[in-house]
Homo-oligomer: A and B are copies of this chain.
Amino acid sequence: MGPSPASVEIERKFLVTELPADLAAHPGQRIEQGYLAIAPDGVEVRVRRRAGEATLTVKSGPGLLRVEEELAIDERRFDSLWALTDGRRVSKARHELPLGNDLTAELDVYDGAHDGLLTVEIEFPSLEASEAFAPPPWIGREVTGDARYANQSLALAARPPADA
């Protein structure tokens, strides 16, 4: 479900009003993400661990030049670099839940500094599918494009309202 630089992604993001009843059937995968440094022009360098796989990623900021380089790092390096991300972290459990119509909800249950925050992201195969989407009752307010819920903002700023 990672971004594919060669294609356009159609994704919508929502807050979650209550955990869906079948959550226990879809155990989450822990994701830890921490920012080492972010330049004024938006270049960001982060480390991430998911399911035992650790990576260091450098990403360009907004602008014409789009660069994203991901380097695999071992556990020792991850631990060493993770220590440098204090105060710039996001950690969460990601649950993937089938929604019907071949759609999958990526439900993120945040912990640490963002404990209590719940968001869900859904990727759509087409603009039509995106517009036709009827959210189940546990899905709340839409926050697509709301920068406050981006990983970088969450890592750097105080926790945004879980619902408002």
Measured CB to CB, the residues of A under 8 A from B are 35-39, 41, 43-45, 56, 58, 60, 65, 67, 69, 71, 73, 77, 80-81, 83-84, 87-88
B residues in contact with A84, CB < 8 Å:
43, 58, 60, 65, 67
B residues in contact with A73, CB < 8 Å:
71
Q: How far is the CA of A66 from the CA of B95 in the complex (A)?
A: 36
**12 A–B contact pairs at CB < 8 A?**
A35-B39, A36-B45, A37-B39, A38-B39, A45-B58, A56-B58, A65-B83, A69-B77, A69-B81, A71-B71, A71-B73, A71-B77
Partner pick for A58 among B60, B81, B88, CB 8 A cutoff? B81
B residues in contact with A65, CB < 8 Å:
83-84
Q: How far is the CA of A83 from the CA of B61 in the complex (A)?
A: 12
Q: Are A43 and B39 in contact (CB under 8 A)?
A: no
Q: Are B38 and A67 in contact (CB under 8 A)?
A: no
Q: Are B36 and A58 in contact (CB under 8 A)?
A: yes
Q: How far is the CA of A73 from the CA of B102 in the complex (A)?
A: 39
Q: How far is the CA of A56 from the CA of B47 in the complex (A)?
A: 14
Q: Are B58 and A69 in contact (CB under 8 A)?
A: no
Q: How far is the CA of A96 from the CA of B60 in the complex (A)?
A: 36
Q: Looking across the interface, which residue of chain B has its beta carbon closest to that of A65? A: B83
Q: How far is the CA of A58 from the CA of B19 in the complex (A)?
A: 39
Q: What distance in Å separates the Cβ of A3 from its nearest Cβ neighbour in chain B?
A: 16
Q: Looking across the interface, which residue of chain B has its beta carbon closest to that of A60? A: B84
Q: Are A56 and B81 in contact (CB under 8 A)?
A: no
Q: How far is the CA of A91 from the CA of B44 in the complex (A)?
A: 22
